[in-house]
Amino acid sequence: MVSQVNLKRHSLSEQDIHYVKDLAEEAGRIAVEMRAGVMVREKSGPTDMVTAADLALSKLIVERIGSRFRNDVIVSEEDEVHAQCTAKDRVWLIDPIDGTDNYINNDGQYSVMIGLLENFQPVFGWVYAPALNKTYLGGPGYGAFKQLGSGELIAYEKKLAPLSLENEARVLMGYRDRKSHPWVKEHPKVTLVKAGSIGLKVAKVLEDEADLFIHLSGKLKTWDTAGPVAIALGGFLEAGSLETDQLIFPTPEIRHDTSIIVGRPGSLSWARKYLKQKFYDTNVQA
């Protein structure tokens, strides 16, 4: 059972948590059923694709969240117009298929992601990887959990050992971010680890298969991060940037204009020591 800590403060009951978990898993199963022959079109350009499944899952999730949480603000990646919100609002951020390219290529590295913000901070997140039949969920004060299929929820109970400033690190970066910052691959302290969806990148850190996820290019949307960051914080990971010890979830822009770092304890200090100056030098030269 999910920890009862802070349930009253966040007004998110255990029934609510399992309702959204079941919804994410239902959406994921539909994504699998739709994938063969799914219609694909460009959204903002040739490298930004959307499928009929993205749109169908968005409609399903928005309707179901709206029917249960009638007073909350709901923002989905696939909305034509994104709702505005204030610090007084509870805000649901939905990425119906994170890793659309992975979904199209059928490599299994995509997920359904849902995150809840209160006062512009992530309080709970759900990530379901349909091809792996794995669910990740959690939030600060609640804990972080995984579930394989219909098995029991397994808690990430132990804090990972800190990342030493002297050690090399296993670093996760997205394809476009790696392409924009090729110097990271050549860094003597970096071993690159690959994964698709941001939710699955965070899962690799929780599973001790990587040390940190970094995104240096900015402009990640908040629906990309809300769910995974909530789970990360529930699992005693760090989330911040090269400049800040906390990740800011802005509005109404619904995007992060900063670097993003999510990783085991010590990741923020490690990234600032080994990546920050090179990042600034490279950007100035560009």
CATH for 133: 3.30.540.10
Q: What pLDDT sits at residue 7?
A: 41
Q: Does residue 162 lie in a domain region?
A: no
Domains in the chain, number = 2
Pair (65, 184) in one structural domain: no
Q: Does residue 61 lie in a domain region?
A: yes
Q: What pLDDT sits at residue 42?
A: 55
Structural domain ending residue among the three candidates 122, 155, 188: 155
Q: What pLDDT sits at residue 52?
A: 85
Pair (145, 15) in one structural domain: yes
Q: Does residue 1 lie in a domain region?
A: no
| pLDDT tens per residue across all 286 residues of the chain | 454 444 444 578 999 999 999 999 999 999 999 888 776 665 655 555 678 888 999 999 999 999 999 999 999 988 877 787 766 789 999 999 999 888 888 999 999 999 999 988 999 999 999 999 999 999 999 999 999 999 999 999 999 999 999 999 999 999 999 999 999 999 999 999 999 999 999 999 999 999 999 999 888 999 999 999 999 999 999 999 999 999 988 776 788 989 999 999 999 999 999 999 988 877 755 4
Full 3-state SS string of the chain: CCCCCCHHHHCCCHHHHHHHHHHHHHHHHHHHHHHCCCCEEEEEECCEEEEHHHHHHHHHHHHHHHHHCCCCEEEECCCCCCCCCCCCCEEEEEEEEECHHHHHHCCCCCEEEEEEEECCEEEEEEEEECCCCEEEEEECCCEEEEEECCCCCEECCCCCCCCCCCCCEEEECCHHHHHHCCHHHHCCCEEEECCCCHHHHHHHHHCCCCCEEEECCCCEEHHHHHHHHHHHHHCCCEEECCCCCCCCCCCCCCEECCCEEEECCCHHHHHHHHCHHHHHHHHHHC
Pair (21, 147) in one structural domain: yes
Structural domain ending residue among the three candidates 133, 155, 177: 155
Q: What pLDDT sits at residue 69?
A: 96
Pair (80, 202) in one structural domain: no
Q: What pLDDT sits at residue 59?
A: 95
Q: What is the CATH number of the domain that holds 263?
A: 3.40.190.80
Pair (143, 59) in one structural domain: yes
b/e for 184-205, b at 16 or more Cβ within 10 A? beebeebeebebbbbbbbbbbb
Q: Does residue 160 lie in a domain region?
A: no
Pair (73, 207) in one structural domain: no
Q: Does residue 2 lie in a domain region?
A: no
C-alpha span between 259 and 65 (Å, rounded):
30
Pair (193, 230) in one structural domain: yes
Pair (131, 91) in one structural domain: yes
Q: Which residues, 6+ apart, have CB-to-CB distance to 95 below 8 Å?
A: 76, 77, 112, 113, 114, 221, 223, 224, 227
Q: What pLDDT sits at residue 44?
A: 59
Pair (95, 216) in one structural domain: no
Pair (16, 92) in one structural domain: yes
Pair (189, 133) in one structural domain: no
Kindly report the backbone phi and psi dihedral angles of residue 106, in degrees, each rounded to the nearest multiple of 5, phi listed first.
Answer: 60, 45
Q: Does residue 181 lie in a domain region?
A: yes
Q: What pLDDT sits at residue 187?
A: 95
Predicted structure pTM score: 0.92
Pair (203, 116) in one structural domain: no
Q: Residue 43's closest CA among 80, 84, 3, 90?
A: 80
Q: Does residue 35 lie in a domain region?
A: yes
Domain that holds residue 20: 7-155
For tokens 């302290």, the residue is 189
Q: Does residue 164 lie in a domain region?
A: no
Q: What pLDDT sits at residue 285?
A: 52
